[in-house]
Structure 1
Amino acid sequence: MVDSHLHFRPFGGRPVPFEELNGYLNKSGVHHASIYGIGQMLPVDSDCTYYLNCPGTPVVPSMKNDFANAVNYMEAKPKDPDLALSMTFMDLNHPETIPPGIALYDKEFPGMFRWAGEVNLVKQALFPNHHTSATSENIKNWAPFMKVLRDRGIPITIHSDLGNDKEPLKYLHLMEETLRRYPQNKIVWAHMGLSKELSTMDPDEHIAIMTRLLDAHPELNLDLSWRVLEDQYFSKPGVRQKYAAFLDRYPTRAIPGTDFVASRDKDYSVYEQELEVTSRINKALGDKAFRHIALGQNYFRLLGLKKEAPEVCGAE
């Protein structure tokens, strides 16, 4: 029903056309999606479409993708799928630039942006492209724009790597400080903090950290997007059952997504595969978690939609 983490625009190069991507959603039965741009764009004079192929090329926050998404949305006015525009321009290392940016969005597209992110607190994959992690001082200075999001009930999806295989918890303190400073903001932790750089963490340790933070911070939600979760964790023997049991204990605290990046070198078959892979965990969930996660109830709640996911019928 829901793809809460879908990049309608690529890092660089041509995107899949807006109407074509909506067709992917219709064809696959997805009726609700968040329209992420990608705030961190390759330079306009770069031939690259993916930052990993261009180490040394700076990838910096920009408004271009958000504006393109908003214009495309206004022109198409889709009813199904129901799409939520997201502000992805936010540079968490320079928070003073964010309130004026939101004001510009308000002027140009009043009331249209209902989500924020995916924004990067720390993303190790971008380090070769001049990205650096935000600091504790940066996080402290988020207060003005976090208040705007809080007052409007806008969720923010934050990419914040836990760490890497050498130091699995190297960056955990950054998300902990974010949650401590902004306990009333709707914060969605992208990919549960996992990444390609962290492929060998003990699942029990990871689940214990997620459990501790969910218990301590009622507004924290987990994002289950990106096939890295399935490929590096859920698919290992005995591990899927552990994560399913964890999600069954917290059925109202996670949302699904593909993390598909709509560059023109991809087509429906790629989206279909990523949707299937990122949805495999749903088969292991109990009925309540399945309804809230896979059928969209948690996503509807975060967006403040007056919509109810269908109930799951009991087996006869």
Structure 2
Amino acid sequence: MVDSHLHFRPFGGRAIPFEELTGYLQKSGVHYANVYGIGQVLPVDSNCTYYLDCPGTPVRPRMRNDFVNAENYREDKPQDPSLTLSMTFMDLHHPETIPDGIALYDREFPNMFRWAGEVNVVKQALFPNLAEPATSQDIPLWAPFMKVLRERGIPITFHSDLGNDAEPTKYLHLMEEILDQYPDNKIVWAHMGLSKELAHLDPDTHIRILSRLLDTHPNLMVDLSWRVLEDEYFRKPGLREKYAAFLDRYPTRALTGTDFVAARTKDYQVYENELEVTSRINLALDDEAFRDIALGQNYFRLLGLKDTAPRICTSRSAPNAAVDNRLPASPATNTAAQAAPAAESDD
């Protein structure tokens, strides 16, 4: 039902046209999505379209992708899927620029941006492109813009790598400091802190870290986006059950997402595959977690939307048995399931 982590713009080069990408969502039965740009973009005079192909080329936060997304949204005004615009321009190394940037967005696109991020605290994959991690000295300086987000109830998604295979928790202290200093902000930890650089973290250690932080910080959520989670962790023998049991214990604390980047070199089949791969963990969830995570109740709650996720039928002869049996439902089936419980209040 929800793709909470979808990049409508690429790092560089041409993007999939806005209407075509919203068509992908309609075709696949996704009715809600976050419209991320990519704040950290390649230079406009670079021929490179993907940062990993051009080490040494700097990647820096910019506003241009957010502005293109907002213009496309304003012109297209889609009703289904329901889209949430996100500010991705934030330069965490120069936080003094962020409040003025938000004010500019307010003037140009009043009341249109209701999310922030994905912004990078530390993304090791970008180190060859001259990116550096945020520091303990940077984090207290975020207070002015975090105050704006907090007052408006705007969630922010941080990409913050836990570490790497050589030092699995090297950067954990950064997320801990963010959570300690901004306990009242709605914070989403992208990819559960995992990355390609950390492909062999002990799952029990990982789950203990996540559990401790979720228990200590009630406004923290994790997102399950990016196929790295499936490819490097969930699909390994015995691990899907461990992570599903973890999510069953914290059913209200996770969001779904693909982390699809809409470069023009991709098409619907690529998006469909990313959606299928990043959704496999949902098949192992119990009913409560499935409704909250896969059917979007957590997303609606986080944004303060009146929408509610469909109830899960317990009878295999019920009309929405596709939901009950964890089978992929067609877009038409999803629409019917969405409409049926609209008058219900969330409990």
Q: Tell me the TM-score normalised to structure 1 length.
A: 1.00
Mapped pair 1:223 → 2:223: yes
Residue aligned with 1:137, SS: coil
Give the whole-Å Cα distance in 1 for the aligned partners of 2:273 and 2:85: 24
Q: Which amino acid aligns with 1:151?
A: E
Aligned to 1:311: 311
Q: Which residues of structure 1 form unaligned runs of 5+?
A: none
- 1:282 & 1:45 partners in 2: Cα distance? 42
Match of 1:195 in 2: 195
SS in structure 1 at match of 2:137: helix
CA distance in 2 between partners of 1:9 and 1:161 (Å)? 22
Paired AA for residue 134 in structure 1: A
Equivalent in the alignment of 2:265: 265
Show the 5 A alignment for 1:199-210: 199-210=199-210
For 1:66-85, list aligned pairs within 5 A. Answer: 66-85=66-85
Structure-2 separation of matches of 1:312 and 1:55? 48
Indicate the residue corresponding to 1:179 in structure 2: 179
Flag the structure with larger Rg.
Answer: 2
What does 1:220-299 correspond to in 2, within 5 Å? 220-299=220-299
1:161 aligned onto 2:161: yes
Scaled by the length of structure 2, what TM-score is found?
0.91
**Residue 313 (structure 1) shift:** 1.1
Q: Distance in 2 between the 1:112 and 1:301 partners? A: 18
Distance 1:247 1:227 in 2: 17
Any idea what SS the aligned residue of 1:72 has?
A: helix
Alignment partner, residue 116 of structure 1: 116
Matches within 5 A, 1:72-151: 72-151=72-151
Could you tell me how far apart the structure 2 residues matched to 1:4 and 1:247 are? 17
Q: Where do 1:5-16 residues align within 5 Å?
A: 5-16=5-16
CA-to-aligned-CA distance 1:71-123 (integer Å, 9 cap, x gap): 00000000000000000000011100100000000000000000000000000
**Residue in structure 2 matched with residue 48 of structure 1 by the alignment:** 48
| CA–CA distance in structure 2, aligned partners of residues 34 and 96 of structure 1 | 26
Bigger CA drift: 132-141 or 224-233? 132-141
Distance apart, 1:315 and its partner CA? 3.7
Corresponding letter in the other structure for 1:130: L
Please report how far the alpha carbon of residue 287 of structure 1 lies from its aligned counterpart in structure 2 after TM superposition: 0.2
Letter in 2 for 1:143: A
Distance 1:12 1:216 in 2: 39
Confirm or deny that 1:31 pairs with 2:31: yes
CA-to-aligned-CA distance 1:259-299 (integer Å, 9 cap, x gap): 00000000000000000000000000000000000000000
Distance 2:179 2:194 in 1: 17
Q: Which amino acid aligns with 1:137?
A: Q
Moved more, 188-197 or 298-307: 298-307
Instruction: Give the deviation of 1:49 after TM superposition.
Output: 1.1
Paired residue type of 1:42? L
List alignment gaps of at least 5 residues for structure 2.
Answer: 317-347
Deviation of the 1:47 alpha carbon: 1.1
Is 1:64 paired with 2:81?
Answer: no
Q: How far, CA to CA, are the matches of 1:252 and 1:6 in structure 2?
A: 21
Distance 1:112 1:265 in 2: 29
2:35, 2:196 → 1: CA distance? 24
Question: Partner of 1:17 in structure 2?
Answer: 17
User: Once superposed, which parts of structure 1, at least 4 consecutive aligned residues long, lie more than 6 Å away?
Assistant: none
Q: 1:301, 1:98 → 2: CA distance?
A: 26
Give distance in 2, aligned partners of 1:258 and 1:48.
23
Shift of 1:307: 1.0
Identity, % of aligned positions: 77
Counterparts of 2:302 and 2:154, CA distance in 1: 8
Residue identity opposite 2:70 in structure 1 = A
Deviations 1:118-139 (A, max 9, x none): 0000000000001100111110
